Amino acid sequence: MARRKIIAGNWKMNMTPSEAVKLCAELKDLVKSDDADVVYCVPAIDIVPVVEAVKGTNVEVGAENMYFEEKGAYTGEISAAMLKDAGVKYVIIGHSERRDYFKEEDALLNKKVKKAIEAGLTPILCCGESLEQREMGVTMDWIRLQIKSDLVDVTADQVKELVIAYEPIWAIGTGKTATTEQAQEVCKGIRDCIAEMYDDATAAAVRIQYGGSVNARNAAELFAQPDIDGGLVGGASLKADFGKIVNYK
């Protein structure tokens, strides 16, 4: 059975609550699709108004981050239970900006993945290499290490339900995009890694996105690849072009 495409917008630190509601209204008809799951991953302050704004549409709401503890003295953090209760379905974990700017390491991300699953959220687990790592020829070594570390003690049945997003760090927000061949090669490498860790059925079930300067011009070619099951879209998710990415065919 073919994997259903999933196309998620990562709004990052953009959109006030009022701007978010306006954007949802603008995109409502443009992102209608029977062929793909559509997700808006929004800043924490936008979650409640966006959940309300997308009611009755095909759009699900995701968070951009969460903490692994259930409650307590963790000022500024948001728990998986809070997200679930607010109507969130997906949560991005391990985005390169979180890894780089906020020094989030794999042991922490593994705790987040497990807590998200426990709470009934679907993790969008990010992985990717720097330009230096690609030029050194260690892309797959690095990504395999990330995947193996982040999925410690996660079962095959749980892995089948999550989403993995491959984002070459050198292509995020730079306007540079990995070639179709480069993106497919790494996404296949991720699937092969999952097969080694679990089994072929798990590898065949898990959905793997490509992210990194995805736009309306390159979406169709990228998403046509056998191991690319959609995209994690940054800047282009904040404008009407996101509708063209969702309806890429």
Query: Which residues belong to the active site?
Result: 95, 167
How is residue 5 written in tokens?
């495409």
d(CA 12, CA 176): 18
Cα atoms found within 13 Å of the Cα of residue 48, Cβ hemisphere only: 3
Between β-strands 230-233 and 122-127, what pairing exists: parallel, antiparallel or unpaired?
unpaired
Angle at 218 between CA 215 and CA 222, to 5 degrees: 115
Helix ranges (DSSP H) in 120-162 = 131-136, 139-150, 156-161
DSSP state at residue 79? B
102, with CB counted inside 10 A (0-12, 13-18, 19+), is exposed
Dmax over CA atoms of the chain, in Å, equals 48
Give the CA-trace dihedral at 89, 180, 150, 71, to 10 degrees: -30
